[in-house]
Amino acid sequence: MERTDEMTGPSLVVLTGAGISAESGLGTFRSRDGIWAKYDLYKVATPQAFASDPAMVHDFYNLRRKACLKANPHAGHTALACLQREWRGEFQLITQNVDDLHERAGSENVLHMHGELLRARCHSCGHRWPAPRRMDPKDECPKCFRAATRPDVVWFGEEPYHMDEIYRLTRLAEVFVVIGSSGQVYPAADLADIAMGRGAKTYELNIEPTGGPFISGIYGPASETLPEWVDRLIGAQ
């Protein structure tokens, strides 16, 4: 978040979750037909799962990477990128999503707190590089040459990325908006509360109310509500 002299609007932090990518065809996690209804999270999204069955974990993420590469951003993603360009105050987009739809819609400097499907990481030395379409337990790290490559995503029980910066931005936010997140995954779920405790106005955009700490919300599919909301915000500056 960079401030320049001609900026006049309040600082705005937007946190997105799986709901913003639902209409692009990438399932959410907690809905009745969501990803966790089909997979046991302890078998595919924990360090223990990777230690006991890396092939199964890679299969799961290979499928998700394939779906991500087939998906396209929708009007909601595009509207957020437009908001970043037009907003006359500081702006920061934080996402819990591991897809790259925000970037493909034109958003910049996105903080991916749960990592990125299209990046690979060495479980041994920590080196990171662009992921191939399919990853395999036998793949070697290009730096240390150990066969310890993993998707660069944050698994349950691991510390999310960029948390110092995310807490700093959350405490400074004057407006904090959560889009398409159930508020059930921590520490992301705490952020709106922290922002509100520091005096920020907090809002949510979701298909239905989540009961989170928001002064108000806009409810409906993100591809429809976001373009209208962004138009209104930009128009009111």
* Residue ranges that bind ligand NAD, judged by CB under 6 A: 17-19, 21-23, 26-30, 34-35, 96-99, 114, 180-182, 184-185, 206-208, 210, 221-222
When the beta carbons of 11 and 28 are compared against ligand NAD, the nearer one is 28
Cis before residue 10, ω within 30 degrees of 0?
Answer: no
Distance in Å, CB of 57 to ligand NAD, minimum: 15
Residues with a known catalytic role: 114
How do 128-130 and 115-122 pair as beta strands? antiparallel
When the beta carbons of 90 and 229 are compared against ligand NAD, the nearer one is 229
Distance in Å, CB of 175 to ligand NAD, minimum: 19
Distance in Å, CB of 185 to ligand NAD, minimum: 4
Sequence-ordered alpha helix ranges (H) in 87-207: 101-105, 163-172, 191-197
When the beta carbons of 47 and 89 are compared against ligand NAD, the nearer one is 47
Nearest 10 degrees: CA dihedral of 138, 142, 145, 148? -50
b vs e for 107-116, b when ≥16 Cβ sit within 10 Å of the residue's Cβ?
Answer: beebbbbbbb
> Residue number with the shortest CB distance to ligand NAD?
19
With tokens 């070697």, the residue in question is 140
